Structure 1
């Protein structure tokens, strides 16, 4: 592969190394995340997408921002309150970061409201309506009044705000309406607050062929006279709170399960981080809310006429296929069908890699179900980071335990926002006889690995599944991830040592294939980059390709800067946060960063090293992993990095998946040296990597049955 013209003139070793401040070398982690969420929001403006898919992107940007405040901003607020002096990698103090975050988040929320206004108008034209209060006609009003009396009114509990009734607790993400009233009998002013129960649907659909929705707070304001008979309503405004939702682990916790059960309850009562007020709220009402909920900790903003943008996701469920992406049915790997659906026989024959969501997650479930039902399987070991609310994986493990097999499940209680669900699954597994282990107190077990031990002949064979994503049937439909299946004895031995490390703290001593964090993953990665530096210094081609969700670790970034200065060509596909500053003379001239945001969420972690030749090549060192390049993944999580040695799998991941990501022009953004992202122009021959994989079978899983079918189009990098 030849380099882009604007990089070919660079001399790697002649110039003095770049010197600058921390802000010159790195982008701020939090601001980089906000830039990612803006790219998500930009997809809501992409007219190439159907309207309800654009609405979905808008809702995702809203829920993303909520979580950002509940976790990241809450953490910074905590540091500020404790007067922590630690600076970010780009040299900002905590207060400077919070100031910059608040300004950018406010701009992002303004953009969300503007996008909602545009989408609402476009949806109106498509006979899909979200009615404002002044758009509700008499017929709709009559139906809504009945609905309010029967379905909403019984759930509401208005509370007066006066010395006898102190301001109530508002739960996290709680949406409420505050009223200023006057009692007609004596002219006495009264202030009331109504919290909308979490179980109340945010939007109510009016019956009829045409989709018409009304927000529940709109209904409450319209029919408030029914809730407050004998009062005149002067003002009413909605507001919403976001609370600190992070859970800090105490090393002294004697019972981790009980600790997390209590911590989840405390989370709901965390300090207010953001107070969102409806635009146009009366000064008197705003003053009360600021006093009662604001305090020194909260970031307060008037956030538009629709609070909780993330709640728009429920509208996407409306049955309007004309306003959504064409339906897509994932393929089942033909390789396994050729063996009569016998996963073990197919895997024993040759390693297989499956790319979700293009190939169905059902193959992972089939692997586990076969293990549960196979009388020759004696043991199953499984990590569970996020299994979601779908019980398919859990049921397979329970069935295996009930069939008398030895089943071990490593359930991660520290999987943020899935702690409660994981506690539930852990209890169900234990009741069935599964040995449930919670791993390390300090480290999250983030590696996604299944291990099945099967009696074959006079011995045993180990079958493994390594995933770059979670064992989560729902997210597997929208996250692009790899599932790698192998019966390689060396990898099986490494997997066994990994499980013993997590369950019994038995330090691995003889890993031959797998690298683990926090044991040696960063060290191994550094060595691979150093090898490319040596190739460049020896006059040989040197290249690195890496795909991940986030790049934050400064040690790795500095090593990449060193590699660039030595002459290594580096292509990074980073969907989200990137603290590395690319394209800076004498520092990162040979590094290019792109982000892909589209129909599916890019989630797989893939790393390739040229090994003395340009990429792609058959001799390249190729790895898949569960880890992003972040300090937490290297230092505070159990992660794996696995080499891909099978030639067919190697070709699929490197020549198909990585090349497709690099040549995509329809969903890609380029990170500029100043920190901005620019959309890649489609060019004369636009390429959409998601469409490519939706319409072409994989190399590894296609099998002989597809050999007579039309050839899979070969991908190649363009001549820059």
Structure 2
């Protein structure tokens, strides 16, 4: 990588204060209590509305807009299966414990269903718009009535050869028990009349999950440059007569089922692996939480479904559009680069290249932080690969929360064990929706000779950490990787996260104590730098906030900058309110849920909250405290973490808060990564004191180009990984100009 000139993006990276100031609005004083907080579930739905809004963003390529639509559908499904299912369970058991805003479970469910229904309607409106735009771009999503004659012969043959042998019609009558419909299962109900005697019969066809949601007609049949898709459900409806000879089809209807998918594990479980295998099976048979139906679904068939599935009418969603919005992700795979974001290849840290790819040599020289997805996840994989092959490495210890279905990290750990290294892997079985995959990885690791630990029964091990112990001339040296994201090769391409590599004994010694805590329940003593949840991480953050409060009262500069995914913990919110009242300037970048109410006189007037939604999913957690000097400065206390400000992260998970002690890394995290998030105006939304979000308005005066933090990181190298070949001026320096630095 050679020296890079300052880009146009960087030349205009000092927006006026007005470019980063939310619109003013009169807000009455709100005393601490229920009105001081937003409801967690409604805040999450507001987040999904922001995701859905990107599907209408005309600045994005068409298939990327479709991707955001499918993501909003997948998000909403998971929300129903986990959060709504939990509230339904509480309501059924008569639990009236109020949420942070004072609402009972029943009150929350009422508000959620109203909001979720509005989102579902908006999804269908956007789908109709996108469908027309896709057709104009030669991508056609057909239904059973709208198939060109030229494609009919191929589709019929495909149905007879590929679909018909897989599906199984089942009559619904006393002689045939109602079939089980699995979670996220889709099915068709047919109302038939026997031609011989006109007897009415109802048949169900469950659509196997192994089938794709859409079938693509081959290009040579569809026509040059044309893509024609038809859903499996529409295909079955189109050729249903082949399934029911001797019957007349009077009607048909598509439905989809969502079930309670949360897993509860008893603390006294004797065999955690066996318990989880059983719990995964129970999840597939959980209570039905939502039933989706086509708008013109047969009333008699609907009544049968409601009765057999045990569904309350409040959980029924009817639509005249597409059922299962998440399935549109298959259309996004269409090979049309012109309708997608320009391809992006992440950089490999130049500093590591200067050491001929030897990560241990590079890290031994100086700490490195890698910013994903702008910098390659391969550097993390190489860290384990090199450790596996290095004859001087004696031990590797690794936490695994989510590793994906094809994990190079897992394979590297197996190779290390086969090479005779002492390898320990902490595999978290409670990683939601990855439990089954993690069980498979655990078995594979154990067969290779890896010592597999499952951590705590009642706490999730959510910290992301690797340790490599290496024999060197001066004795044993420990190298560590700390991450804000998972060891997952797929999400590392779309999630913004930080990977911190260090051999600093001040951190590696604490890391060893933390690992022993997870593997052997040995509570660490004498931690000097790293804070660990649920032991002292909460207290460390509180102490840092209190220091800022004391500095503000003493007339010193005082500011708090936080970037995280969620803020829901009441005690932490109250601490930030106290900081605001003391005069501390609090800037929060919260991607998802935020229960904190900003901008309220007498409560939070010094707190601003923004959310960034864009090409990449913001996932890194960064905590920065002014420490007596104007922000940002070299004196600021800066941390990266695996934890958000949620009760579960602070009290019921094993998490790590890592101080950034190296000067170059400190500058990159604070004055490059965090500051760029503060300056972004193109992808940002302000949270207002009434709970609404509005897009940040870019500056209109002058020729200042709106700052986009994703574009900035895609076009500029990192500070700590840039290498000596890059001049200092090659990385444009960001700064607050007339901003609220505290």
TM-score normalised per structure 2: 0.94
> Which of residues 38, 44, 50 in structure 2 aligns to 1:27?
38
Q: Give the Å deviation of 1:297.
A: 8.9
1:483-494 aligned at under 5 Å gives the runs 483-494=499-510
> Which of residues 73, 77, 88 in structure 2 aligns to 1:66?
77
> Which of residues 269, 282, 299 in structure 2 aligns to 1:283?
299
Rounded to whole Å, the distance in 2 between the matches of 1:225 and 1:178 is 14
Residue in 2 that maps onto 1:159: 170
> Which of residues 261, 271, 277 in structure 1 aligns to 2:287?
271
Verify: 1:556 aligned to 2:566, yes or no: no
Deviations 1:283-320 (A, max 9, x none): 22222222222434971110332111001101111110
Q: Give the Å deviation of 1:7.
A: 9.3
Deviations 1:459-496 (A, max 9, x none): 10000000000000110000000000000012111010
Rounded to whole Å, the distance in 1 between the matches of 2:110 and 2:308 is 23
Rounded to whole Å, the distance in 1 between the matches of 2:320 and 2:554 is 59
Q: Give the Å deviation of 1:20.
A: 3.0
Rounded to whole Å, the distance in 2 between the matches of 1:133 and 1:666 is 41
Verify: 1:664 aligned to 2:684, yes or no: no
Q: Give the Å deviation of 1:134.
A: 2.6
Q: Secondary structure at the match of 1:242?
A: strand
Q: Give the Å deviation of 1:253.
A: 0.9
Assess if the C-alpha contact under 8 Å between 2:17 and 2:737 holds in 1.
Answer: no
> Which of residues 498, 523, 531 in structure 2 aligns to 1:515?
531
Residue in 2 that maps onto 1:171: 182
Q: Secondary structure at the match of 1:657?
A: helix
Residue in 1 that maps onto 2:622: 606
1:6–1:432 distance in 2 versus 1, CA, 3 Å: closer
Residue in 2 that maps onto 1:14: none
Assess if the C-alpha contact under 8 Å between 2:611 and 2:686 holds in 1.
Answer: yes
Verify: 1:456 aligned to 2:467, yes or no: no
Residue in 2 that maps onto 1:701: 721
Assess if the C-alpha contact under 8 Å between 1:469 and 1:626 holds in 2.
Answer: yes
Aligned residues: 712
Assess if the C-alpha contact under 8 Å between 2:507 and 2:529 holds in 1.
Answer: yes
Verify: 1:301 aligned to 2:317, yes or no: yes
Deviations 1:388-414 (A, max 9, x none): 011200011011111111000000000
Rounded to whole Å, the distance in 2 between the matches of 1:718 and 1:124 is 46
Verify: 1:262 aligned to 2:278, yes or no: yes
> Which of residues 410, 431, 443 in structure 2 aligns to 1:415?
431
Rounded to whole Å, the distance in 2 between the matches of 1:529 and 1:224 is 65
Q: Secondary structure at the match of 1:450?
A: strand
Assess if the C-alpha contact under 8 Å between 1:272 and 1:297 holds in 2.
Answer: no
1:514-553 aligned at under 5 Å gives the runs 514-553=530-569
Residue in 2 that maps onto 1:338: 354
Rounded to whole Å, the distance in 2 between the matches of 1:64 and 1:3 is 34
Q: Choose between structure 1 and 2 for higher RCO, CA contacts under 8 A separated by at least 6 residues.
A: 2
> Which of residues 707, 716, 728 in structure 2 aligns to 1:687?
707
Q: Which runs of 5+ in 2 are unaligned?
A: 1-13
Deviations 1:681-717 (A, max 9, x none): 1224211111110010000000112228x72222122
Residue in 1 that maps onto 2:604: 588
Residue in 1 that maps onto 2:513: 497
TM-score normalised per structure 1: 0.97
> Which of residues 392, 400, 403 in structure 2 aligns to 1:384?
400
Assess if the C-alpha contact under 8 Å between 2:30 and 2:600 holds in 1.
Answer: no
Q: Give the Å deviation of 1:163.
A: 1.1
Verify: 1:569 aligned to 2:585, yes or no: yes
Verify: 1:93 aligned to 2:93, yes or no: no
Deviations 1:582-636 (A, max 9, x none): 0000000000000000000000000100011221111000000000000000010
Rounded to whole Å, the distance in 2 between the matches of 1:564 and 1:440 is 37
Once superposed, what is the RMSD of the aligned Cα atoms?
1.7
> Which of residues 132, 140, 162 in structure 2 aligns to 1:129?
140
Residue in 1 that maps onto 2:10: none
Rounded to whole Å, the distance in 1 between the matches of 2:137 and 2:20 is 46
1:174–1:5 distance in 2 versus 1, CA, 3 Å: closer
Rounded to whole Å, the distance in 1 between the matches of 2:296 and 2:554 is 66
Residue in 2 that maps onto 1:717: 736
Verify: 1:625 aligned to 2:648, yes or no: no
Rounded to whole Å, the distance in 2 between the matches of 1:5 and 1:329 is 31
Rounded to whole Å, the distance in 1 between the matches of 2:650 and 2:448 is 34
Verify: 1:677 aligned to 2:683, yes or no: no
> Which of residues 103, 113, 127 in structure 1 aligns to 2:114?
103
Residue in 1 that maps onto 2:3: none
Rounded to whole Å, the distance in 1 between the matches of 2:312 and 2:302 is 16
Rounded to whole Å, the distance in 1 between the matches of 2:648 and 2:551 is 30
Rounded to whole Å, the distance in 2 between the matches of 1:304 and 1:380 is 55
1:181–1:5 distance in 2 versus 1, CA, 3 Å: closer
> Which of residues 36, 46, 58 in structure 2 aligns to 1:47?
58
Q: Which runs of 5+ in 1 are unaligned?
A: 11-16
Q: Give the Å deviation of 1:133.
A: 2.4
> Which of residues 112, 130, 137 in structure 1 aligns to 2:123?
112
Residue in 2 that maps onto 1:13: none
Q: Give the Å deviation of 1:22.
A: 3.3
Rounded to whole Å, the distance in 2 between the matches of 1:298 and 1:437 is 43
1:357-506 aligned at under 5 Å gives the runs 357-506=373-522
Rounded to whole Å, the distance in 2 between the matches of 1:78 and 1:3 is 48
Q: Give the Å deviation of 1:548.
A: 0.2
Assess if the C-alpha contact under 8 Å between 2:598 and 2:605 holds in 1.
Answer: yes
Deviations 1:634-664 (A, max 9, x none): 0100000011011111111111111111111
Rounded to whole Å, the distance in 1 between the matches of 2:19 and 2:725 is 43
1:71–1:396 distance in 2 versus 1, CA, 3 Å: same
Rounded to whole Å, the distance in 2 between the matches of 1:577 and 1:336 is 37
Q: Give the Å deviation of 1:117.
A: 0.5
Q: Give the Å deviation of 1:132.
A: 2.3
Rounded to whole Å, the distance in 1 between the matches of 2:63 and 2:419 is 45
61-70 or 679-688, larger mean C-alpha shift: 679-688
1:620–1:269 distance in 2 versus 1, CA, 3 Å: same
196-205 or 287-296, larger mean C-alpha shift: 287-296
1:457–1:200 distance in 2 versus 1, CA, 3 Å: same
Rounded to whole Å, the distance in 1 between the matches of 2:525 and 2:155 is 68
Rounded to whole Å, the distance in 2 between the matches of 1:262 and 1:566 is 52
Rounded to whole Å, the distance in 2 between the matches of 1:290 and 1:186 is 29
Assess if the C-alpha contact under 8 Å between 2:306 and 2:312 holds in 1.
Answer: no
Rounded to whole Å, the distance in 1 between the matches of 2:660 and 2:185 is 47
Rounded to whole Å, the distance in 1 between the matches of 2:295 and 2:593 is 31
Deviations 1:658-677 (A, max 9, x none): 11111111111000000000
1:346-361 aligned at under 5 Å gives the runs 346-361=362-377
Rounded to whole Å, the distance in 2 between the matches of 1:19 and 1:650 is 37
